[in-house]
Structure 1
Amino acid sequence: MTTFSVGEHDFLLDGSPHQILSGALHYFRIQPEQWADRIHKARLLGLNTIETYVAWNAHEPVEGQWSWADGLDLAAFLKAVADEGMHAIVRPAPYICAEWDNGGLPAWLFGDGAAGVRRDEPVFMAAVERYLRRVYEVIEPLQIDHGGPVILVQIENEYGAYGSDPEYLRKLVGITRAAGITVPLTTVDQPEDDMLSAGSLPELLHTGSFGSRSPERLATLRRHQPTGPLMCMEYWNGWFDDWGTPHHTTNAAASAADLDLLLGSGASVNLYMLCGGTNFGLTNGANDKGTYEPIVTSYDYDAPLDEAGHPTAKYWAFREVIGRYTELSAEVPAGFSPAPVLGSPFTGEVDLLDAVEASGSRVGVGHLPTMDEMGQFHGLAVFRTHIDLDEDAELSFADVRDRALVLVDGEVAGALDRARKVFSAAIPAGSHEVTLLVEDQGRVDYGPRLGEPKGLIGPAVVRFDSGETTEISDWSYLPVPADPLPLLESTSAPDHSASDHPARDGRPVLRRGSLDVAGPADLFLDTAGWGAGVVWFNGLCLGRFWDVGPQRTLYVPSPLVRTGANDVVVLDLHPRAGARIATLAEPILDSPIAG
Structure 2
Amino acid sequence: MKKNIILFLTLLLGCNLSGYCQQAKHTFALGDEAFLLDGKPLQMISGEMHYPRVPREAWRARMKMAKAMGLNTIGTYVFWNLHEPQKGKFDFTGNNDVAEFVRIAQQEGLWVILRPSPYVCAEWEFGGYPYWLQNEKGLEVRSKEAQYLKEYESYIKEVGKQLAPLQINHGGNILMVQIENEYGSYGSDKEYLAINQKLFKEAGFDGLLYTCDPAPDLVNGHLPGLLPAVNGLDNPAKVKKLVNDNHNGKGPYYIAEWYPAWFDWWGTEHHTVPAQQYSIHLDSVLAAGISINMYMFHGGTTRAFMNGANYKDTSPYEPQTSSYDYDAPLDEAGNATPKFMKFREVIQKYLPAGTQLPAVPAVKPAISIPAIKFTQSVSLLNTLPVAKENITPLTFEALHQDYGFVLYRSTVQGGKSGLLKLKDLRDYAVIMLNGKKAGTLDRRLNQDSLILTLPAGKVTLDILVENLGRINFGKYLLQNKKGITEKVLFDGAEVTHWKMYSLPFGNLNAVKFGAGTQSAQSPVIKKGGFTLNKVGDTYLDMSGWGKGVVWVNGHNLGRYWNVGPQQTLYLPVEWLKKGHNDIAILELLKPAQTQLKGIDKPILNILQP
TM over 0.5: yes
Determine the structure 1 residue equivalent to 2:270. 247
Query: Does the 8 A contact of 1:344 with 1:513 survive in 2?
Result: no
CA drift at 1:208: 1.0
Query: Does the 8 A contact of 1:460 with 1:472 survive in 2?
Result: yes
Query: Does the 8 A contact of 2:365 with 2:537 survive in 1?
Result: no
5 Å-filtered alignment, 1:150-229, equals: 150-192=174-216, 195-210=217-232, 213=235, 215-225=237-247, 226-229=249-252
5 Å-filtered alignment, 1:61-76, equals: 61-76=85-100
Amino acid at match of 1:200: H
* 1:267-308 deviation digits (Å, cap 9, x = unpaired): 100111111111111111111123111111111111111111
CA drift at 1:237: 1.0
Alignment of 1:14 with 2:16, yes or no, is no
Query: Does the 8 A contact of 1:215 with 1:262 survive in 2?
Result: no
Amino acid at match of 1:86: L
In structure 2, distance between residues paired with 1:231 and 1:107? 33
Determine the structure 1 residue equivalent to 2:398. 373
Give secondary structure in 1 for the equivalent of 2:493.
strand
Query: Does the 8 A contact of 1:188 with 1:233 survive in 2?
Result: yes
Structure 1 runs, 4 residues or longer, greater than 4 Å off: 211-215
Shifted more, 202-211 versus 87-96: the winner is: 202-211
* 1:91-138 deviation digits (Å, cap 9, x = unpaired): 001100000110000010112442111111100000001111111112
In structure 2, distance between residues paired with 1:202 and 1:352? 59
CA drift at 1:578: 4.7
CA drift at 1:213: 4.6
Determine the structure 2 residue equivalent to 1:384. 409
Give secondary structure in 1 for the equivalent of 2:218.
helix
Query: Does the 8 A contact of 2:234 with 2:255 survive in 1?
Result: no
Amino acid at match of 1:149: N
In structure 1, distance between residues paired with 2:135 and 2:305? 19
In structure 1, distance between residues paired with 2:154 and 2:535? 40
Match for residue 587 of structure 1 among 602, 605, 608: 602
Match for residue 557 of structure 1 among 551, 556, 572: 572
TM-score with structure 2 length normalisation?
0.91
Give secondary structure in 1 for the equivalent of 2:445.
coil
Alignment of 1:29 with 2:53, yes or no, is yes
Q: Identify if the C-alpha distance between structure 1 residues 389 and 579 changes in structure 2 by more than 3 Å, giving closer, same or farther.
A: closer
Query: Does the 8 A contact of 2:367 with 2:535 survive in 1?
Result: no
Match for residue 277 of structure 1 among 300, 303, 327: 300
* 1:433-478 deviation digits (Å, cap 9, x = unpaired): 1100111111111111115110012132224xxxxx3222311100
5 Å-filtered alignment, 1:161-560, equals: 161-192=185-216, 195-210=217-232, 213=235, 215-225=237-247, 226-289=249-312, 290-327=315-352, 328-357=355-384, 360-388=385-413, 391-428=416-453, 430=456, 431-451=458-478, 452-463=480-491, 469-483=492-506, 485-486=508-509, 488-489=511-512, 495-498=514-517, 500-501=518-519, 504-505=520-521, 507-560=522-575
Determine the structure 2 residue equivalent to 1:466. none
Query: Does the 8 A contact of 1:344 with 1:514 survive in 2?
Result: no
Q: Identify if the C-alpha distance between structure 1 residues 252 and 96 changes in structure 2 by more than 3 Å, giving closer, same or farther.
A: same
Alignment of 1:115 with 2:165, yes or no, is no
In structure 1, distance between residues paired with 2:580 and 2:416? 54
CA drift at 1:392: 2.3
In structure 2, distance between residues paired with 1:470 and 1:559? 53
Q: Identify if the C-alpha distance between structure 1 residues 423 and 152 changes in structure 2 by more than 3 Å, giving closer, same or farther.
A: same
Query: Does the 8 A contact of 2:67 with 2:358 survive in 1?
Result: no
CA drift at 1:497: 2.4
Amino acid at match of 1:310: N
CA drift at 1:218: 4.6
In structure 2, distance between residues paired with 1:238 and 1:268? 19
Query: Does the 8 A contact of 1:214 with 1:258 survive in 2?
Result: no
TM-score with structure 1 length normalisation?
0.94
Q: Identify if the C-alpha distance between structure 1 residues 52 and 532 changes in structure 2 by more than 3 Å, giving closer, same or farther.
A: same
Give secondary structure in 2 for the equivalent of 1:293.
strand
In structure 2, the gaps of 5 or more residues are 1-24
Amino acid at match of 2:71: L
Q: Identify if the C-alpha distance between structure 1 residues 578 and 432 changes in structure 2 by more than 3 Å, giving closer, same or farther.
A: closer
Q: Identify if the C-alpha distance between structure 1 residues 211 and 332 changes in structure 2 by more than 3 Å, giving closer, same or farther.
A: farther
Q: Identify if the C-alpha distance between structure 1 residues 472 and 28 changes in structure 2 by more than 3 Å, giving closer, same or farther.
A: same
CA drift at 1:212: 5.3
CA drift at 1:344: 2.6
Query: Does the 8 A contact of 1:241 with 1:295 survive in 2?
Result: yes
In structure 2, distance between residues paired with 1:9 and 1:202? 18
Amino acid at match of 1:223: D
Give secondary structure in 2 for the equivalent of 1:76.
helix
In structure 1, distance between residues paired with 2:541 and 2:137? 41
Amino acid at match of 2:576: V
Query: Does the 8 A contact of 2:65 with 2:361 survive in 1?
Result: no
Query: Does the 8 A contact of 1:111 with 1:453 survive in 2?
Result: no
Query: Does the 8 A contact of 1:46 with 1:319 survive in 2?
Result: yes
Determine the structure 1 residue equivalent to 2:15. none
Shifted more, 147-156 versus 324-333: the winner is: 324-333
Query: Does the 8 A contact of 1:292 with 1:419 survive in 2?
Result: yes
Query: Does the 8 A contact of 2:70 with 2:357 survive in 1?
Result: no
Query: Does the 8 A contact of 2:215 with 2:233 survive in 1?
Result: no
Q: Identify if the C-alpha distance between structure 1 residues 434 and 578 changes in structure 2 by more than 3 Å, giving closer, same or farther.
A: closer
Query: Does the 8 A contact of 2:117 with 2:181 survive in 1?
Result: yes
* 1:368-422 deviation digits (Å, cap 9, x = unpaired): 2111110111001100111226742212122211100011122211111111111
5 Å-filtered alignment, 1:20-169, equals: 20-169=44-193
Would you say how many aligned residue pairs link Structure 1 and Structure 2? 577
Determine the structure 2 residue equivalent to 1:567. 582
Determine the structure 1 residue equivalent to 2:18. none
* 1:524-570 deviation digits (Å, cap 9, x = unpaired): 11112111000001011010000001111111111111111110100
Q: Identify if the C-alpha distance between structure 1 residues 394 and 218 changes in structure 2 by more than 3 Å, giving closer, same or farther.
A: farther
Q: Identify if the C-alpha distance between structure 1 residues 485 and 389 changes in structure 2 by more than 3 Å, giving closer, same or farther.
A: closer
Residue identity over aligned pairs, in percent, reads: 37
In structure 1, distance between residues paired with 2:468 and 2:379? 18
CA drift at 1:76: 0.7
Shifted more, 112-121 versus 555-564: the winner is: 112-121
Q: CA RMSD in A?
A: 1.7
* 1:59-117 deviation digits (Å, cap 9, x = unpaired): 11111111111211111111101101221110001100000110000010112442111
Amino acid at match of 1:545: Y
Give secondary structure in 2 for the equivalent of 1:371.
coil
Give secondary structure in 1 for the equivalent of 2:191.
helix
In structure 2, distance between residues paired with 1:294 and 1:269? 29
In structure 1, distance between residues paired with 2:415 and 2:565? 44
Amino acid at match of 2:547: A
CA drift at 1:576: 5.3
CA drift at 1:496: 4.5
Amino acid at match of 2:528: G
Amino acid at match of 1:344: A
Query: Does the 8 A contact of 2:310 with 2:318 survive in 1?
Result: yes
